[in-house]
C-alpha cells in the first residue's frame, strides 16, 4: 500500500522541487520524468498501476507549478 501512496505523491513533489530549483517548469518536468523513467527501466516498480500513478502525479505536479507560477522569480 505504501508504494501506491509514494507513487501518487513523490513525482509531483519532484516536479515542484526541480521547477523551483531550475526556475523552469519544463526542465523540472523533464528531470522528474527522467528519474521516473530510469527507475522503471531498472525495474524498481511493482506493478503497472504504479507507473500509471507516477504519470498522473507528474501531470498534477506540472499543473500545480503552472497554476501557482512556482517557476517564476518573485521581484519585489
Number of domains in the chain: 1
**Domain presence at residue 74:** no
The DSSP line for 17-76 is HHHHHHT-HHHHHHHHHHHHHHHHHHT--S-HHHHHHHHHHHHHHHHHHHHHTTTSPP--
Q: Is the pLDDT of residue 9 over 80?
A: yes
**Domain presence at residue 18:** yes
Domain span at residue 35 reads 2-68
Segment 25-43, tens digit of pLDDT: 999 999 999 999 999 899 8
Segment 38-75, tens digit of pLDDT: 998 998 887 899 999 999 999 999 999 999 998 887 76
**Domain presence at residue 73:** no
> Nine-digit cell at 38?
530510469
**Domain presence at residue 14:** yes
Amino acid at each position: 500500500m505504501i508504494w501506491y501512496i509514494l507513487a501518487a505523491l513523490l513525482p509531483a513533489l519532484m516536479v515542484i522541487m526541480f521547477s523551483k530549483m531550475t526556475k523552469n517548469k519544463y526542465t523540472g518536468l523533464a528531470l522528474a520524468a527522467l528519474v521516473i523513467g530510469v527507475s522503471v527501466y531498472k525495474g524498481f516498480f511493482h506493478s503497472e498501476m504504479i507507473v500509471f500513478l507516477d504519470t498522473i502525479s507528474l501531470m498534477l505536479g506540472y499543473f500545480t507549478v503552472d497554476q501557482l507560477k512556482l517557476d517564476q522569480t518573485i521581484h519585489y
